[in-house]
A and B are shown apart, each in its own frame.
Chain A
């Protein structure tokens, strides 16, 4: 019959197509962000690049050496046309050379970023996982009980948590757990008196210090999951195949699984956005709890006018969001057979 060819693996091609599209868009984004970086560095008020160069020459460096020393900090030589400088800057980025930090002399930006990224990625992922599991479960309840009081409470609290900015949540949690009822540490990654290592004491201290940041990430995204899952479940409950499943006499458990699996699918696209938002929010949370992640690094580089570091941190945050987007979409493609076969190639 018409079956021939329908199942002949159009999937792989569709997936590759999608991936290529994402990569192209991601590269374009990165180009835009790096260009913004360049423009900003090039237009710093007071022209510190020239000042730096002159200072080095005054200190007795040869003009050639001084130029290279300046280039290490800013990513391009302090002479030549705008276009030459731009090419120079982008060339440096291509070799993953992000220059040296100004505020911590001699430190490579790449190394600093790698160290800071750990402190952002782990709490963000932990918080997201926590809120996803909790929010999705509660969202199902909110959908099933949507005409009752419980549903109302869940929906309104979800909207509030979703609406309130992260710093408000962080400050409230901080006020509760570090000021009014001081049971959790409010800054740093671990007790500095404890020797770092794989000891129970150190790991315990790490966990204790991560509690408030993780809790804030979780609370900040929990509301979004409730709302998204609720509306998704309500939509699926109205689908014909659920009624069909009931009319076939499938057990409640199986029908519930049909609903849940179909409802959770669209949430994977939101996952990307949520990760993006959390990376943005990391700035507040890390500032409030003095947690040395990417956000705090970006903020410190801005207050310290450390442009190489600032550009690097901004770039890395953007790249993280781009990657999160791609991963989420690919995940969606793998999970949803309709997308995989290229049916919904809109």
Chain B
């Protein structure tokens, strides 16, 4: 697999540099699902900012609302669900929640690329990849279809695939890892600068997982993207993400720079998650699974803290009052049991002062930090 030099930016079409990485501000986002028992919230009052040029990871167990959050970025929550409140501001697009019809369709694919879970079949089984690429080009009024194919072939080549051959294949002729790379190609080929990856490595073997994660990081740097990675795997987040948001029961319970959150978790749920990971070195007995089960749509408590049922630090106030997100250094934590911190240096976290100019340099700094740590 050819490793990509990081200065390939010159190969990119000129408008890549012009547009740059967009920032994303999610505020007060709530999504409800219509059920026989009424409308139940899957995501409730989420504030999250994706600083331009960063990779943000969202971690949570299944049912925590993380996939619903990801779909909200494209205003694509599937019925019977709907976005009931809040906004998703994307630089250059505006509030996605208010987009409708053609406007929304054009934004999808062109501005926001979405990569499906690898195990899911995200390609039309009857058509060769190349033909589907042309469908994509025609849908977005690309005049130079030859150029599009060339771009796709380059992208696939950079991800270590034989581009011409892949474009000639149908889904069933590709392995899981190959399909995933094709999915990434589809998300990037129109030069979208915001990329959402939903469980990008689930159901892949360890080697392929590592390859895909490396590709994500490389492409992210090379193209100057803003990336959101949804996963249940803390390892994936540790590997790629600059910033991290932990979701539980439709709420973000803790968010901040990855290194800080993983190194010194504050929220009891984050701590539980980290303790549940068995280490390669050390006693397997040290890994402690969280007691209890995550709530489902129907069992999310309506009032109080969503995590209280499984929480070792629970107090009376947790039953009645929902904990607000409180700043702790660069972090936001929603827990009554964690001592409140000051709101001084919060590297672009939260929905408050998320101005582009202010957020960007901070984001870059964090990126550099994370990189150092991994290399």
Residues of A within 8 A of B (CB): 1-3, 6-7, 239-241, 243-252, 254, 258, 261-262, 265, 336-338, 341, 343
Does B125 have its Cβ within 8 Å of any Cβ on chain A? Answer: yes
8 Å CB contact of B124 from A1, A241, A343: A241
B121 and A248 contact, CB distance less than 8 A: no
Does B275 have its Cβ within 8 Å of any Cβ on chain A? Answer: no
Could you tell me the distance in whole angstroms from the C-beta of A301 to the nearest C-beta in chain B?
46
Q: A247-B74, A247-B114, A254-B135 are in contact. Are A262 and B165 (CB under 8 A)?
A: no
Q: A3-B173, A7-B173 are known contacts; what are 20 more A-B pairs with Cβ within 8 Å?
A: A1-B178, A2-B178, A3-B169, A241-B121, A241-B123, A241-B171, A243-B78, A244-B120, A247-B76, A248-B109, A249-B107, A249-B110, A250-B109, A258-B124, A258-B127, A261-B126, A262-B124, A262-B125, A336-B126, A341-B172
A7 and B169 contact, CB distance less than 8 A: yes
A247 and B172 contact, CB distance less than 8 A: no
Does B116 have its Cβ within 8 Å of any Cβ on chain A? Answer: yes
| Interface pairs (30), CB distance under 8 Å | A1-B160, A2-B175, A3-B162, A3-B165, A6-B173, A240-B116, A241-B123, A244-B114, A244-B116, A244-B183, A246-B76, A246-B108, A247-B74, A247-B109, A247-B116, A249-B105, A249-B106, A249-B107, A249-B136, A249-B140, A250-B105, A250-B135, A250-B139, A252-B105, A258-B124, A261-B126, A262-B125, A336-B126, A338-B125, A341-B173
Bitwise interface map of B from 107 to 133 toward A, beta carbon under 8 Å scored 1, else 0 = 111100010100011111111000000
Inter-chain contacts of B106 with A (CB < 8 A): 249
Bitwise interface map of B from 169 to 210 toward A, beta carbon under 8 Å scored 1, else 0 = 111110100100001001100000000000000000000000
Could you tell me the distance in whole angstroms from the C-beta of B142 to the nearest C-beta in chain A?
12
Inter-chain contacts of B172 with A (CB < 8 A): 337-338, 341, 343
Bitwise interface map of B from 211 to 255 toward A, beta carbon under 8 Å scored 1, else 0 = 000000000000000000000000000000000000000000000
Could you tell me the distance in whole angstroms from the C-beta of B92 to the nearest C-beta in chain A?
15
B123 and A248 contact, CB distance less than 8 A: no
Does B288 have its Cβ within 8 Å of any Cβ on chain A? Answer: no
Q: A3-B162, A247-B76 are in contact. Are A337 and B125 (CB under 8 A)?
A: yes
B123 and A244 contact, CB distance less than 8 A: yes
A248 and B136 contact, CB distance less than 8 A: yes
A337 and B126 contact, CB distance less than 8 A: yes
A249 and B108 contact, CB distance less than 8 A: yes
CB contact list, B298-318 vs A, under 8 A:
none
8 Å CB contact of B120 from A240, A254, A265, A343: A240
B135 and A241 contact, CB distance less than 8 A: no
Inter-chain contacts of B178 with A (CB < 8 A): 1-2
> In whole angstroms, what is the CA distance A39 to B165 when docked?
59
Inter-chain contacts of B150 with A (CB < 8 A): none
